Structure 1
Amino acid sequence: MIPRRLLPSIALLTSFDAVARTGSVTAAARELALTQGAVSRHIKALEEQLGGDLFVRERLTMRLTLAGDSYVREVRDALRRISMASLNFRANPKGGTLNLAVLPLFATRWLAPRLPAFQQAHPEIMLNLVTRLDQFDFQAEPLDAAIRFGKAQWQGAESVFLRREEVMPVCSPGLLERFTFTGAGDLRAAPFLILVSRPDAWEKWLAAQGAEAEGVHGMMFDQFATLASAAAAGLGLALMPTFLIEEELQRGELVPALKTASPSEDSYYLVWPPERGLYPPLARFKAWLTAECSRP
């Protein structure tokens, strides 16, 4: 264990972070509701404890040294983790908290309507959701688990299979009237809408249908929700998971361009860092989620 004399106090680290962000003892003092003298003493005490300079003192500003710049990155991450842990405890002081990263449309259309059942079964668990579209590092973010779409292997993490999906080309009723689609190859005459996280989805789907798959271009979207809205507005064809657009299909805002749904190569998984595998809130959520996904 590191000796306590080598561990700076939260007060010193908070003042250091504020000065590093603002570049000024005066501004940091105003932000922290402290006197300038108190902030200056904190910086001096921290430098003495660490045994080196954190700032280059200039006439009106404080500029981080190279070592100070590296140190502040680590300090900010630690302060963020402490802050998140404290907020989680305040939110649910009698039970556990589960921080879960989710895919936006999956969370909105599939997960959220089912969460009341989980909360009723496990009222002691506070579930916090954040959306993440891109890959991320569990070591860099205070997350216990994530729902991801991809292959079975997730580097540096454990996972459990949740469900597959089928995708289908859809468009607005107006666009369907403008074109005659009798086969997959006919879709090439209409504009394509493409999801950034699945840039080759159209190529794979066309190839699976035996159609020309090279040179697919079109408007790019970073989320399924905006992709679906653009398709409903008549901007082009979207390749969408059928279970995520049931509402649009029922209302007639989207219609199948071809009534050909095919399975995606990838699937949905619950993924978590190995050290969180036995965390009780995660174990309970995993058991509930896998059971929910196994329903027809």
Structure 2
Amino acid sequence: MLASRRFLPSISLLAAFEAVARTGSVTAAARELDLTQSAVSRQIKALEEQLGVELFLRERQTVRLTLAGDSYAREIREALRRISSASLNLRANPHGGTLNLAILPTFGTRWLAPRLGGFLRKNPGVTINLVTRLSSFDFRLDAIDAAIHFGHPHWPGAELTFLMSEKTVPACSPQFLREHAISKPEDLLDLPLLHLTTRPDAWEIWFAENGVAFQSLHGMLFDQFATAAQAAVAGLGVALLPTFLIQDELKRGDLVAAIDREIESRDCYYLAYPSERADYAPLAAFREWIEAEAKS
């Protein structure tokens, strides 16, 4: 422990380094930190001496990061961000109980968010922070306690709790359906199909399960269900959408099934979390609650 502390600079040194690295100017960093230029320069010098590495190249009145300094700045900036985030969370909930949850955008806004009030009423001491993540990440490198995962039951270094499966249906606007004769699955091959970048083979699977042969499938690409659904409402084509995420559009009649051929997705929704956080009280409470919500 004593040896490692030699390479643990103080926050003030790191803050000065990050500010100079980001602004490219000792003057700008000094103004931001409310210090004198000489004080910032001394802090940078002290950090370089402590690390035994030159972090900046000095050229007349300017400074420029060395290759080593540039790499170090990226990591220090993220570390300072995480410290700031942890401090903000603690201030917001000084008695603990903060749960940082990564969500899938449409699942989070359309299914989870409307239900969260019930969880918070049952667990008034817990604060939930929501961030969007479209793909898996390393829990060791991100200050996230748990994540909503859609896919196979696999996430390296994490435990998974099953939440639900889903069914998808080809959906389009009523006007689009009136303008195109659709009576069998192969009729969709001649129509504009809307694709999700996160599910690039969804249409291929749908056609295969409906016994339709095809050469290739083309169409517009979207990175979120919400925008794909809105494009379908606008009459731009047919989107393959989870029925539980477009209930409002179906009830209002903004979207209709292009053809009554629902299929069950091969992947499912899970709650993913690092094994060492499994017994963290806010996470355990949330896991129990969301399991019950998904079953109901």
Please give the alpha-carbon distance, in whole angstroms, between the structure 1 residues aligned to 2:122 and 2:157: 31
Off by >6 Å, runs of 4+ in structure 1? none
What is the 5 A alignment of 1:216-231?
216-231=217-232
Match of 1:249 in 2: 250
Contact 2:174-2:254 at 8 Å conserved across structures:
yes
Cα shift at 1:2: 4.0
- Is 1:67 equivalent to 2:65 in the alignment? no
Q: Deviations over 1:154-200 (max 9, x none)?
A: 12221111100000001011110111111111111211000110111
- Determine if contact 1:110/1:244 at 8 Å carries over to the other structure: yes
Paired AA for residue 109 in structure 2: T
> What displacement does 1:143 show?
0.7
**Unaligned 5+ residue runs, structure 2?**
none
Aligned to 1:26: 27
Offset at 1:246? 0.4
Distance in 1, matches of 2:214 and 2:99, equals 42
Aligned residue in 2 for 1:78: 79
Indicate yes or no: 2:155 matched with 1:150.
no
1:168 corresponds in structure 2 to 169
Q: In 2, distance between residues paired with 1:142 and 1:70?
A: 21
Q: Write the letter of the residue equivalent to 2:114.
A: P
TM-score scaled by structure 1?
Answer: 0.96
Structure 1, unmatched stretches of 5+, are none
Preserved CA contact (<8 Å) 1:204 1:213: no
Please name the residue that 1:122 is paired with.
123
1:200 equivalent to 2:208? Answer no
- Give, in whole Å, the separation in 2 of the partners of 1:286 and 1:253: 34
Deviation string, structure 1 residues 85-114 (Cα, Å, up to 9, x no partner): 001101111231110010111111110111
- Deviates further, 238-247 or 50-59: 50-59
* CA–CA separation in structure 2 for the residues paired with 1:7 and 1:107: 39
Residues 1:56 and 2:57 are matched in the alignment: yes
**Do structure 1's residue 98 and structure 2's residue 99 form an aligned pair?**
yes
Matched ranges for 1:125-136 at <5 A: 125-136=126-137
SS of residue in 1 equivalent to 2:82 = helix
Kindly state the Cα deviation for residue 249 of structure 1 after the two structures are TM-superposed: 0.4
What CA distance in whole angstroms lies between the structure 2 residues aligned with 1:214 and 1:291? Answer: 43
1:188 aligned partner: 189
Describe the SS at the equivalent of 1:243: helix
- 1:99-155 CA deviation, whole Å, 9 max, x = no partner? 001011111111011101100111111100011113322222211110011001112
Which residue pairs with 1:268 in the alignment? 269
One-letter code aligned to 2:158: A
Q: State the identity %.
A: 61
Q: Which moved more, 1:262-271 or 1:48-57?
A: 48-57
Are the aligned partners of 1:102 and 1:147 in contact in 2 as well (CA < 8 Å)? yes
Matches of 1:86 and 1:37, distance apart in 2: 29
Per the alignment, residue 110 of structure 2 pairs with 109
| Distance in structure 2 (CA, Å) of the matches to 1:127 and 1:39 | 37
1:202–1:213: 8 Å Cα contact kept in structure 2?
Answer: no
Aligned partner of 1:13 in structure 2 is 14
Once residues 112 and 156 of structure 1 are traced to their aligned partners in structure 2, the CA distance between those partners, rounded to angstroms, is 27
Q: Is the 8 A contact 1:98 1:144 kept in 2?
A: yes
Q: 8 Å contact 2:136–2:155 — kept in the other structure? A: no
Please give the alpha-carbon distance, in whole angstroms, between the structure 1 residues aligned to 2:138 and 2:215. Answer: 34
- Residues paired across the two proteins, number: 295
Task: Let me know the Cα RMSD of the aligned residues.
Answer: 1.3
Q: Is the 8 A contact 1:181 1:258 kept in 2?
A: yes
1:252-279 superposed Cα distances (whole Å, 9 cap, x missing partner): 1001101121100000011112222222
Q: CA deviation at 1:213?
A: 3.8
